[in-house]
Structure 1
Amino acid sequence: MTSEEHTVSLVDVLEEDEELEEEASAVLAGSDSDHCSYPQGYVKRQALYACNTCTPKGSEAAGVCLACSYKCHEGHDLFELYTKRNFRCDCGNKKFTSVQCKLNPEKEELNTGNKYSHNFFGLYCTCNRPYPDPEDQVEDEMIQCVVCEDWLHGRHLGGVVPECVELQEMICDACMSRNPFLWTSAAPLAVPSVGSTEAEVKEENGGGEAAEASNSVPCKDEEAGGPSCKRSRLDSSEPDCRLKEIQAACQNRVQSGAVFWLSGWRSKLCSCATCKKTMEEAELSFLLDESDTVLAYEHKGKTNEQRQQGHDPLMSALDNLNRVQQLEIIHEYNDMKTELKDFLQRFAAEGKVVTPEDIRQFFEEQQSRKRQRVNTGQFYCS
């Protein structure tokens, strides 16, 4: 491999690392790391943590916001819950016997609108196991259900996980079974089962006509070959129910296993008065809200973290170095990357949150070791 190929590889690595950092920070950047979210009430979506030190298994489940995880629970054993919807920070309330919130001490005893699950005790999936699971040697992706927000192993979803799963929302089998009306919506809006033939897909989707007819209903004259008299739903004060159009076609659909939904499926759900009421009674109205998604939340976080437009100064500096200097940087960068990975893995193993102070200390130690290192005059040539 030539030195030129090494140089390109370094640029690619740096760009890839930057992209990964942006994706990771999107989860946190969408939440406030300095102020407790409690005054905002039940926040639409935010990064949450559960403190195993303050509320261990056997006690009442509780969740704390990002800022409280830093300020009130530093050094504690925390479970990272990723994000949850419609949650109000519990830090320091009645569930915490020995901790008072340092950021917002005046809180009600309980947040009755919060919903909890085994996630708050570090357990996930239908197998009720921790993540990472030291006893599970199977490499398997965990996918979050958009309804119950639990994380499930791909092998425990009751079906084949489709490709590009990160772009598709999933509703687990348990949530589908609790809300059987979702199976009707899934007929034209779900990702076709892996291995389905074209004919089976058309039958599953109601022949492909139900989805296309979502904005108009043909009258008898049109069906008989007469002049078109389609009635636009947009002109009607009350939209017709889309589910009725596809209900008969989806009767033969297998109603088991998790369902993966096609991109933009929320905007295509029926929003007639009857379906809205059904959604409200099932506490699923959020499914009609496209901004409810984790992707929308992450996009908000990425937007908050966007750098100023223009060429990255680091990339400009690399272009101006000679090949020997570029190779030396590759060596130093790989060493730093390995040490940083080992450093962060210790926090992951102990379930601790990495604070800005921890990162600052890591780089200070790096600089100290570098100053003490004897210059051997080694060069890396192609």
Structure 2
Amino acid sequence: MCEELTVSLVDVLEEDEELEEEASAVLAGSDSDHCSYPQGYVKRQALYACNTCTPRGGEEAGVCLACSYKCHEGHELFELYTKRNFRCDCGNRKFSELQCKLHPDKDDTNNLNKYSQNFFGLYCTCSRPYPDPDDQVEDEMIQCVVCEDWLHGRHLGCMIPDSVELQEMICESCMNKSQFLWTYAAHLAVPGEAIQTKEEAGQSNSNTPNKEEQVDDVTAPSCKRSRDEAESSCRLKDLQAVGRKRVQSGAMFWPSAWRSKLCSCNTCQELLSKAGLSFLLDESDTVLAYENKGKNSDQRQPGNDPLMSALDNLNRVQQLEIIHGYNDMKTELKDFLQRFATEGKVVTSDDIRQFFEQQSRKRRRVDNEPFHSP
């Protein structure tokens, strides 16, 4: 029994460490001590919107991770996850009564920032808050990689594929704004029942394999073209020539590394630029790449965990004492953090330090109490 509990404790600690790494990946990729404003329009960073300083009805504004800690402590904040190409607004003209403590010298506005309903705590096509106190339906929210809004799974207009966490999603609205994305979707997006080709439209009951479906998704040019034409060909035009179609409805899910298959010829680069989608050619733009960078910078070296090493050297009685103490502390920490979540406050390092100081004082009181046998 003791051995089983000991193994369970180690398993729990390892699982918690893994979850902690995943949860902190967003924050680890951003600077928690220095305002990001001097860096200009940061490629990707964790952002917050302050409902206390810039409430709905005013102008949208976003603040970096460090400013959320240092300048907006105790305020009602909306966690925006990450946004691309954004410059911190904290303390600029949009904040009439607040000056940034970390970098007070800022321009009145950041004209290249892009804002959305997210900055007022609203999400999805239904424009509802998250979490939504009036919504009793359990549903995951998925971020569109183009507009970066978060949509309820039931409002995507499509079935959510398995392993969605390993894929990127583009919402139907963004697909329709850039029609050429539907051509890519017919070849690159996660397969769905809605796929059909020109021949299938007229021969829906045919059992003969469609030759066009056998063409390599991106790299294979038409065999009728000359070698010179093939070398200078546009991948997008090649796909359009194949003629594979997909019902233009619902969000599209894209597999890993799909961006590397987009055409990067001069014409397509201009097309993407006009549509504001040049970032799709940058595989390091993805949230996954950002999180991996944060995990790598904050990751411990394997085999150097002092807690795991200490557990191996304890006897069964000491291990059981740690189990009970760990479970008690975990419950109290959960209750402690829940208060911050309920009030919409950001947990700072000072808050965590005060929590463990209280735990330490409580432990000393317990140790000093006289022992009474039953």
TM-score (norm 2): 0.90
CA pair 219-345 structure 1, distance change in 2 beyond 3 A: same
Name 2:223's counterpart in structure 1: 218
Name 2:342's counterpart in structure 1: 349
CA deviation after TM superposition for structure 1 residue 247, in Å: 2.0
Amino acid at match of 2:12: V
Q: Which of 330, 333, 339 is the equivalent residue of 1:340?
A: 333
Name 1:225's counterpart in structure 2: none
How do 1:156-195 and structure 2 match up within 5 A?
156-193=155-192
- What SS does the aligned partner of 1:295 have? helix
How do 1:322-341 and structure 2 match up within 5 A?
322-341=315-334
Q: Do the aligned residues in 1 keep the contact of 2:10 with 2:308 (CA within 8 Å)?
A: yes
Name 2:139's counterpart in structure 1: 140
The total of aligned residue pairs comes to 362
CA deviation after TM superposition for structure 1 residue 377, in Å: 8.1
CA deviation after TM superposition for structure 1 residue 369, in Å: 1.7
Amino acid at match of 2:248: Q
More displaced stretch, 239-248 vs 62-71: 239-248
**Structure 1 unmatched runs, 5+:** 221-228
Name 1:366's counterpart in structure 2: 359
What's the CA shift string for 1:151-178, capped at 9, x where partnerless? 1111111011111111100001111111
Name 1:226's counterpart in structure 2: none
**Take 1:309 and 1:334, find their aligned partners in 2: how far apart are those partners?**
25
What's the CA shift string for 1:131-154, capped at 9, x where partnerless? 111111111111100000001111
| Residue 316 (structure 1) aligned with residue 309 (structure 2) | yes
**Take 2:112 and 2:304, find their aligned partners in 1: how far apart are those partners?**
47
Q: Do the aligned residues in 2 keep the contact of 1:45 with 1:84 (CA within 8 Å)?
A: yes
C-alpha RMSD over aligned residues = 2.5
| Residue 117 (structure 1) aligned with residue 116 (structure 2) | yes
| Residue 98 (structure 1) aligned with residue 110 (structure 2) | no
Amino acid at match of 1:242: R
TM-score (norm 1): 0.88
- What SS does the aligned partner of 1:93 have? coil
**Take 1:206 and 1:8, find their aligned partners in 2: how far apart are those partners?**
55
How do 1:1-382 and structure 2 match up within 5 A?
2-193=1-192, 206-211=212-217, 214=219, 218-219=223-224, 236=231, 239-249=232-242, 252-373=245-366, 374=369
**Take 1:267 and 1:89, find their aligned partners in 2: how far apart are those partners?**
30
Amino acid at match of 1:157: L
Q: Do the aligned residues in 1 keep the contact of 2:185 with 2:246 (CA within 8 Å)?
A: no
**Take 2:321 and 2:371, find their aligned partners in 1: how far apart are those partners?**
13
CA deviation after TM superposition for structure 1 residue 252, in Å: 3.6
CA pair 250-121 structure 1, distance change in 2 beyond 3 A: farther
Q: Do the aligned residues in 2 keep the contact of 1:189 with 1:261 (CA within 8 Å)?
A: yes
Amino acid at match of 2:297: N
What's the CA shift string for 1:301-343, capped at 9, x where partnerless? 1111122343422112112222232222122111111111111
Amino acid at match of 2:357: E
CA deviation after TM superposition for structure 1 residue 206, in Å: 4.8
Q: Do the aligned residues in 2 keep the contact of 1:267 with 1:288 (CA within 8 Å)?
A: yes
CA pair 176-358 structure 1, distance change in 2 beyond 3 A: same
**Take 1:204 and 1:329, find their aligned partners in 2: how far apart are those partners?**
64
More displaced stretch, 353-362 vs 302-311: 302-311
**Structure 2 unmatched runs, 5+:** none
**Take 1:356 and 1:190, find their aligned partners in 2: how far apart are those partners?**
42
Q: Do the aligned residues in 2 keep the contact of 1:217 with 1:232 (CA within 8 Å)?
A: no
CA pair 24-82 structure 1, distance change in 2 beyond 3 A: same
CA deviation after TM superposition for structure 1 residue 344, in Å: 1.1
- What SS does the aligned partner of 2:246 have? coil
